[in-house]
Amino acid sequence: MNKDTICAIATAMSSSGIGIIRISGSEAIAIADKIYHSPNKDKKLQSCESHTIHYGYIYDGDQKIDEVMVLLMKAPHSYTAEDSVEIDCHGGVFVMQKILETVVKAGARLAEPGEFTKRAFLNGRIDLSQAESVMDIIDSQNQFALKSSMDQLSGKLSESIRLYRENILHEMAFIESALDDPEHFSLDDYPDELSKKMQDVIRGLQELLATADNGRILKEGIQTVILGKPNVGKSSLLNALLGYERAIVTDIAGTTRDVLQEQIHLNGLTLNLMDTAGIRKTDDIVEKIGVDKAMKEADDADLIIYVIDSSGEMDQEDHDLLSYLKDKKAIVILNKTDLEQKIQIKDVEEITNLPVIAISAKENTGIDLLEKQVHHLFIAGEITYNDQVYVTNVRHKSLIAEAISSLNLVLKSIEDQMPEDFYSVDLMNAYKQLGLIIGESVEDDLVEEIFSKFCMGK
């Protein structure tokens, strides 16, 4: 690992009250001492206790740049596990840039993107999944995404992965020991025993993998498609949910030809809303493209809000679309309750088991009922956010799936009565894939396991 002392501006590059310049590395404190002047002229940061704050000034040679507070953190008790200094200065863009230039002139180099967190990982303070969760925290768009990212940063996912790896490692070490020293380690009945243990691991990993879709929803938001025939009020509903007029609303059917996308935050959840073209048979080429895109978005959606004009009559297209929604997560909206209603909630409930809500997008009534229903579906319903570990990273999902595949190959080898050394190949791959999630090695772990738990007296 590069042992240079690095520095960077740790706050946004915009005029604000406070700015922070971060320095990390073996020379961090010495570099800070070159540019920091205390009112007590004899004071040096090198001689100060860790985790203390010091008032003073930053100088570039004889030029005073800013009045600052300096936070001192000595290794290993810092974010990077290295000596670290943070300079709290005024938040102007020019002054922050000037202090950063002064730090570089004193001997540091500019940090690469993510290098502070990379050093925290390489120095063993956090594992790879925790390092990835740092960016997830920064990118969190709702309270559930933030809590999930914080859980990963605290090591909940890492703990689960390490437990499964320990179980796999134990079996690899036992097989290795038994093959090397058959006099002391018997493999009689071992295949059946290994099969039961690996089935338990597979079940645990499958449960973890099953959280991936919920984890994606928590992290990225609910892909929500507003679907319905032309002129039923889909665009009016989008505008009502957003609180401003985003979509053009007219009495002319087929106004929306493309997919309009917006994002809202709803009771701690994020909804990625898509207003789509009205679903109908049409000879208009452009409108037909819009209808095809609408159905494609609906096929991939986490939630479909199907809008019906309650002042009209349901026709075959409504029945066909309600049938299409039968196996999907959806809410049926009876819109235009400000007009005389020809369709009642019970009429729709008789032909579908989906939740049905009556609203007037024009008068903004019933929107709160829709919001409560969405919250119920994704929080009180399938995604009950508790202390469960959620997989929110696509890389993690892929690696867990690969590990499950390898363990299933172990079960297949056992079923086919293959020699025990065949098991080790797939066990090793499963162990390796899980290790890539947290950034741990393979070879050293196996050697340590063999010698610590299966000492052969040699």
Q: What is the mean pLDDT of the chain?
A: 82
Is 125 a known ligand-binding residue?
Answer: yes
pLDDT of residue 25: 95
pLDDT of residue 447: 45
For 33-61, what is each residue's pLDDT tens digit? 999 999 987 889 999 999 999 999 999 99
Enter the tokens of residue 313: 């009559």
**Where are the domain boundaries for CATH 3.40.50.300 in the chain?**
218-381
What does the pLDDT average to over 233-250?
71
What is the rounded distance in angstroms from the CA atom of residue 81 to the CA atom of residue 24? 9
The top-level CATH class assigned to 146-211+391-453 is mainly alpha
Enter the tokens of residue 39: 């009112």
Is 281 a known ligand-binding residue?
Answer: no
CB-side neighbour CA atoms (13 Å) of 344: 3
pLDDT of residue 320: 87
Superfamily of domain 6-122: Probable tRNA modification gtpase trme; domain 1 (3.30.1360.120)
- What's the angle, vertex CA 26, arms to CA 93 and CA 40, rounded to 5? 65
- Of the chain, the percentage scoring pLDDT greater than 70 comes to 80
Is 232 a known ligand-binding residue?
Answer: yes
Is 22 a known ligand-binding residue?
Answer: yes
Per-residue pLDDT band at 152 (split at 50, 70, 90): low
Is 278 a known ligand-binding residue?
Answer: yes
For 54-93, what is each residue's pLDDT tens digit? 999 999 999 999 999 999 999 999 999 999 999 999 988 8
Is 246 a known ligand-binding residue?
Answer: no
* CATH numeric code, 218-381: 3.40.50.300
**Where are the domain boundaries for CATH 3.30.1360.120 in the chain?**
6-122
For 365-416, what is each residue's pLDDT tens digit? 988 888 888 878 876 544 444 455 667 677 888 899 999 999 999 999 999 9
Is 162 a known ligand-binding residue?
Answer: no
**Where are the domain boundaries for CATH 1.20.120.430 in the chain?**
146-211+391-453
Q: For the beta carbon of residue 61, count every other beta carbon within 10 angstroms.
A: 9
Which H helix or E strand runs over 274? strand 269-275
DSSP code string of 324-373:
HTTTS-EEEEEE-TTSPPSS-HHHHHTT--S-EEE-BTTTTBSHHHHHHH
Nearest to 423 by CA among 402, 409, 435: 409
